[in-house]
Amino acid sequence: MKKNLIIISLIFFFLNSEKSFAQIQGCTFTDGDFSVTQPTTYLKPQKSGQSFLQSVKITLKNNSKTKKYDDITLNVTGDSHIVAIIDTPTFSNIDTSKTITFNVKFYGIIGTPSNSYLMTPTFYWDYAGTSDYIQGCTIYVIIDDTPPTQPVLSLSSVSSNSIGVSWTSSTDWPSSLYPLALAQGISNYTVVCSDGTKQTIDPINNSYKCSYLTGNTKYNIYVTATDLAGNTSTSKTINQLTFPSAPTNLNATNITYTSCTLTWTAPVGGAPDYNVYNGTTQLNTSPITTTSYTITNLCPGIQYTFYVEAYNSAGKSAKATTTKTTPSFSITGPATVCPAGGGTNFSINNLPSGYTVSWTYSTNLKGVYGGINFVSLIPNGTGTGWVQAVVNVPGCGTTPLQIPVWVGLPDNFPGNFVINGNLSLGIGTENHYSVQSSLIPAGRTSFDWSLTGPFVFTRSHFNLADCFVTPSSSAIKGSSGFLNFIVTNTCGSRTFTSDPLVVIGTAGQKSGEISATISGFSASNIEVYPNPVDDILYVKLPAEPINATANIYNVDGRLVLTQILNTQEISINVKALSKGIYFLRLSNINSVTSLRFIKQ
């Protein structure tokens, strides 16, 4: 009789550079005419009483080229706790080169002690009245009714939406005898969170984070270890509260110089308490249980960043944030201080109780009376000025404020101020007039144009420093008027009046054409003196006049005096005229010239 004992070949490998495991190779051998192949020699651990869960296919090949075997029978023997059932235990008439397969199923009877059991397959054959047998490779059957060691669960992290846990690694015997066992016979871990989340974890890992949780909510978490046979062991349950989530919709309302009210929306899951911060400083000294909080002791004109966090016994949420600036003090008052009335008031509106104000102002202003938050001023001169208030803010120091003002009427027109444009206008002709913007008096809030005499504006000048003028439909040759440039502020206005505008020519005749034909009088060859004048105004012409007339107009364009010119040097008595600016228009048949003088 022949008996072959096959030794299991194991190859060890490493996983995670920490643990080594055996890899089952099965066995294959040849004995005489037969080749035997067993794909495995170790069966995965199983509980007792689990029928036919484990099976092995063993193949036997007749290698003989001449022998035809009558019968071949497989018998499996070993420990009495293990039952082996062979689907077809005997095959007959085994031809040469024929391969037969035995399907063997194993189970341990109920109550089989947990252990590893050896089972040996033996092949019996008959040929020509001769019998013999060969043995296959030993098969290891592992029966495991023992639960793994209990994992010890501990808390590793908590947030508003997650809870992390870790546990000690469980071990199991005899599942750990299985060569392919990766982690001391443990098949996997199952983590259960009370929100219904269940996650299976590889046995080489021992941590997990329950995510997508609700803030300020209590969760029950436990882990179950399962061995290779399906036995389980469950940890104790951890009851853990999540942090609250961050408040939302944080906003600051009712903002004053010194206070504001924060409001917010409670997070999903709610929160029992809140803290409020100004920057890094916590403001509340006791828990806030509502969703609003009034902040005081702020300073005017300061940008603040406020934070609100929710918290419970487990911990604090992330902070909600908002940035707001308290209003600044400002001086309320007009841009111009005028002489009329009892005084012009400047004030600090809504001044909180306990605040004081110190007022100062430019030398062209004079204070007449005042109070805690205002001062009343009158002119003490003219021109550019300023008003300053220094607000004393308790706990915040002082806040200086200053605004510019103009005192009195706009400035006088400078001596070199002129209205540029042709003084002679032909009927039907449009003339353009302008002033130099840099010479317009300071202190004005607006400026405009006006006309006297038989003239009209041809375009809307919209308060610009130029305009367009033409004789009106009723104008006749020789008629005249004036163009006025007016600057205004709330105290009044000042007016600059042009030299007389004179209508010359006929309808359709252009002023340029008229100017080309006239001769005789011009401002460059006429002497007028003294200027200013008290009584007698002397006029010296370049030649003896012919049919010449001197007309004097006031600034309103009204003719106030006429005198015939019959000599080259004449005198005009202006004693009866009122003080002011006048225009002397000298005209003859060929020319018209206007000059301005002052009666004092």
**Interval 543-552: pLDDT, tens:** 877 778 888 8
pLDDT for the residue numbered 565: 84
Cα 257 to chain centroid distance, Å, stands at 26
Where do the domains of the chain lie?
10-143, 153-241, 248-325, 331-407, 424-517, 523-599
User: Measured between alpha carbons, how far is residue 63 from residues 34, 92, 97 in Å?
Assistant: 6, 16, 5
| CA within 13 Å, CB half, 431 | 26
**CA–CA gap between residue 355 and residue 357 (Å, rounded):** 7
**CATH class for the region spanning 424-517:** mainly beta
Q: Which fold would CATH assign to domain 331-407?
A: Immunoglobulin-like (2.60.40)
Show the tokens assigned to 237.
């349950």
Burial of residue 242, with CB atoms counted within 10 A of its CB: 0-12 exposed, 13-18 middle, 19 or more buried: buried
Where are any strands of DSSP class E within 16-67? 19-24, 27-31, 34-38, 54-62
**CA–CA gap between residue 17 and residue 380 (Å, rounded):** 96
Identify the three-state secondary structure at position 438: helix
pLDDT for the residue numbered 224: 97
Let me know: does 311 contact 274? Beta carbons within 8 Å: yes
Show the tokens assigned to 434.
């302008």
Q: Which fold would CATH assign to domain 248-325?
A: Immunoglobulin-like (2.60.40)
**CATH class for the region spanning 10-143:** mainly beta
Task: State residue 284 phi and psi, 5-degree precision.
Answer: -85, 140
Nearest to 355 by CA among 389, 327, 393: 393
Let me know: does 585 contact 550? Beta carbons within 8 Å: yes
| pTM of the shown model | 0.63
The pairs formed by 572-581 with CB atoms below 8 angstroms and a separation of 24 or more are: 572/536, 572/537, 572/538, 572/539, 573/535, 573/536, 573/537, 574/533, 574/535, 574/536, 574/537, 574/599, 575/534, 575/535, 575/536, 577/552, 580/554, 580/555, 581/497, 581/554, 581/555
pLDDT for the residue numbered 208: 96
**CA–CA gap between residue 192 and residue 201 (Å, rounded):** 11
Nearest to 288 by CA among 255, 269, 316, 322: 316
Let me know: does 589 contact 529? Beta carbons within 8 Å: no
**CA–CA gap between residue 214 and residue 218 (Å, rounded):** 9
**CATH class for the region spanning 523-599:** mainly beta
pLDDT for the residue numbered 492: 93
Identify the three-state secondary structure at position 176: helix
**CA–CA gap between residue 281 and residue 307 (Å, rounded):** 10
443: left (phi over 0), alpha (psi -120 to 50) or beta: left
Strands 501-504 and 424-426: parallel
| Cβ partners under 8 Å of residue 62, min gap 6 | 33, 34, 69, 94, 95, 96, 97, 98, 99
Q: Which fold would CATH assign to domain 153-241?
A: Immunoglobulin-like (2.60.40)
The residues that bridge with 548 in the sheet, in sequence order, are 565
Same fold, 331-407 and 424-517: yes
The pairs formed by 197-204 with CB atoms below 8 angstroms and a separation of 24 or more are: 204/15, 204/16, 204/19
pLDDT for the residue numbered 402: 97
Cis preceding-peptide flag for 530 (omega within 30 of 0): yes
**CA–CA gap between residue 118 and residue 80 (Å, rounded):** 10
Identify the three-state secondary structure at position 326: coil
Maximum CA extent, the chain: 181
Q: Render pLDDT for 506-523 as a digit per residue (tens, 0 to 9).
A: 543 333 333 322 335 666
pLDDT for the residue numbered 174: 94
Identify the three-state secondary structure at position 175: helix
pLDDT for the residue numbered 366: 94
**CA–CA gap between residue 137 and residue 596 (Å, rounded):** 140
pLDDT for the residue numbered 509: 38
| Cβ partners under 8 Å of residue 221, min gap 6 | 153, 163, 165, 191, 192, 193, 194, 210, 237, 238, 240
- Taken in order 346, 349, 353, 354, the sign of the CA dihedral is negative
The secondary structure of residue 177, as a DSSP letter, is G
- DSSP collapsed to 3 states, 467-530: EEEEECCCCCCCCEEEEEEEEEECCEEEEEECCCEEEECCCCCCHHHHHHHCCCCCHHHCEEEC
pLDDT for the residue numbered 585: 83
Burial of residue 435, with CB atoms counted within 10 A of its CB: 0-12 exposed, 13-18 middle, 19 or more buried: buried
Let me know: does 540 contact 526? Beta carbons within 8 Å: yes
Per-residue pLDDT of the chain (600 residues; tens, 9 = 90+): 333 322 222 222 222 223 333 335 578 899 889 999 888 788 899 999 875 556 788 888 889 888 899 999 999 999 999 999 999 999 999 998 899 999 999 889 999 999 999 999 999 999 888 999 999 889 999 999 999 999 999 999 999 999 999 999 999 999 999 988 888 999 999 999 986 778 999 999 999 999 999 999 999 999 999 999 999 999 999 999 999 999 999 999 999 999 999 999 999 999 999 999 999 999 999 999 999 999 999 999 999 999 999 999 999 999 999 999 999 999 999 999 998 777 899 999 888 888 999 999 999 999 998 888 999 999 999 999 999 999 999 999 999 999 999 999 999 999 889 999 988 888 888 899 999 989 999 999 999 999 999 999 988 765 578 899 999 988 888 888 999 999 999 999 999 998 889 898 654 333 333 332 233 566 667 888 998 999 999 988 888 777 788 888 887 677 889 888 888 888 999 999 999 888 888 877 666 777 888 898
Strands 397-407 and 336-337: parallel
